[in-house]
Amino acid sequence: MDTKTALQKTLTEKQELVRNYQDFAREMNDQEISKMYKHFAEAEALHATQIKDKLEELS
């Protein structure tokens, strides 16, 4: 697998994680757990942004 393909695959996975964590945060009745999932979503969004930037550099 080449670098660009690996980054694209990872980006897709990170974007899915962001959506999943955001959904979990909304669905949780426990505010502490909801906050934890929001934090996870933010972290994955940062990772996705970093991957997008690297992909743009490679284009």
Q: How high is the pLDDT of residue 31?
A: 98
Domain of residue 44, residue span? 3-58
HEC-encoded secondary structure of 1-59: CCHHHHHHHHHHHHHHHHHHHHHHHHHCCCHHHHHHHHHHHHHHHHHHHHHHHHHHHHC
* pLDDT tens-digit readout, 34-57: 999 999 999 999 999 999 999 999
Calpha distance 19→36 (Å, rounded): 14
Tracing tokens 């695959």 back to the chain, one arrives at 9
Q: Domain count of the chain?
A: 1
pTM value surpassing 0.85? yes
